[in-house]
Amino acid sequence: VRFPEDLEDDNTTFNPEYSHQVFGDDEVAFGYKGLKILLYYIAGNLSTLFRVEYTSKVNEKFDCVEADDVESKIREIIPPGFCTNTDDFVSLLEKEVNFKPFGMLLHTYSIHNEEAGEDITYQIYKADMTCPGFREYHERLQTFLMWFIETASFIDVDDERWNYFLVFEKYNKDGATLFATVGYMTVYNYYVYPDKTRPRVSQMLILPPFQGEGHGAQLLETVHRYYMSSPTVLDITAEDPSENYVKLRDFVLVKLCQDLLCFSPVKLMQGFSQEMVTEAQQKLKINKQHTRRVYEILRLRATNMGDAEQSRSYRLDIKRRLIGPYKKKQRELAKMRRCLRPEEMTNQLNQIDLNMQREQLEESFQQLVSDYRRVLERLAQA
């Protein structure tokens, strides 16, 4: 909500992707007709208005059943201090002009908005719990995780090893410049013996009204560049990354790596090398596993897949990596042969049909190439 009229505007409304973490695996609230759970957030500081509406509710006295206590379930995840009255919320909205982003400004960028017919400016900040008011703001911000990240959990904000990166949109209201929350990322700094840290991306969310505009890539690249400048950082990883995050990371890392000398077309055609691993880690804080994916994407760009020899060479190179888990299984089978009875061995062999392996390998390869082509298409448009 930026203006009072947004309260009545359905175009500003977005629905949760998940509600199982609040309402159970069936995502059902029992005992109501026409149930609406309404959560309004002021665009910048995220002050909250919470209301529950319904047309009718089962009555314990007459129906001998009790409706779910929807309100208490929501109260468990939103911090206290929220409004239940629209007038109180609108009076808070009037004070929004005083809200300013927390922490240190890292990056400013613009994106052209077709609807508005102008460039809109965004800024990325790094904050921590020492910033006045940030703890309370973060409590409100993290409630979005429950609705948009499938395995979300709230973090221990008293642990000083957490870093917070925030994206804001600058907008004008009555001649004043205000800020709207776009998204954020939390990063945990793990200790690596003897004197390094390994920042691990924990949670990353771009709010639904801003998705698909490139903010995720801007945020991830800014965070990478922030840690790249630190001599104590070994490399940057992610905790249990989603499929969408992996695609985003592929794009950002390829964009960062493509100008390194070790990824020149000539060197790419010679195969994956230790030089790539070393340079990517030392200059860009990218680990070996991610460097390998970058190599495969950039080699695809350098390969003429219409040329039979080049295409075959690329296919073999990728499949040699993909076959690793299958070879591990073969080694395990070799061990089993020495200690299993014949009938037990037959059961194990039935699970690993070689033709099926080949089919799975080809399927994995085709899927990978398809994903890599999308990264390269996005890179060409960037």
- 246: confidence class by pLDDT, cuts 50, 70, 90: very high
Domain span(s) for CATH 3.90.360.10 in the chain: 4-96
Domain 99-300 has CATH 3.40.630.30: yes
Asked if pLDDT for residue 158 goes beyond 70, the answer is yes
How far, in Å, CA of 234 to CA of 228, rounded? 9
Q: For 267-282, what is each residue's pLDDT tens digit?
A: 999 999 999 999 999 9
- Give the domain 4-96 fold: Histone Acetyltransferase; domain 1 (3.90.360)
Strands across the sheet containing 176-192: 104-113, 118-127, 162-173, 176-192, 196-206, 237-238
- Decide the pairing of beta strands 237-238 and 48-53: unpaired
Whether 319 and 369 have beta carbons less than 8 Å apart is answered as no
Q: For 32-50, what is each residue's pLDDT tens digit?
A: 999 999 999 999 999 999 9
Please state whether the predicted TM-score (pTM) of the whole model is above 0.95. Answer: no
Q: For 50-82, what is each residue's pLDDT tens digit?
A: 999 999 988 866 677 888 999 999 999 999 999
Domain span(s) for CATH 3.40.630.30 in the chain: 99-300
pLDDT at 61: 64
DSSP string of 30-92?
Answer: -SEES-EEEEEE-TTT--EEEEEE-SEE--HHHHS-----HHHHHHTTSPS--BSSHHHHHHH
- Decide the pairing of beta strands 48-53 and 56-57: unpaired
How far, in Å, CA of 327 to CA of 361, rounded? 12
Arithmetic mean of pLDDT, 226-242: 94
What are the residue numbers of the active site?
Answer: 239
pLDDT at 333: 60
CA–CA distance from 108 to each of 53, 104, 167, 191, 255 (Å)?
41, 12, 10, 30, 18
Q: For 292-348, what is each residue's pLDDT tens digit?
A: 999 999 999 999 999 999 999 999 999 999 987 666 656 666 666 667 666 665 555
How far, in Å, CA of 192 to CA of 198, rounded? 7
Higher-confidence position of 110 and 153: 110
Query: Cα dihedral angle (67, 69, 74, 80), rounded to 10 degrees?
Result: 150
**Residue 309 is encoded by which pair of tokens?**
């020899």
Q: Is the peptide bond before 194 cis (omega within 30 degrees of 0)?
A: yes
Terminal CA-CA length for the chain: 31
What is the sign of the dihedral through the CA atoms of 254, 255, 256 and 259? positive
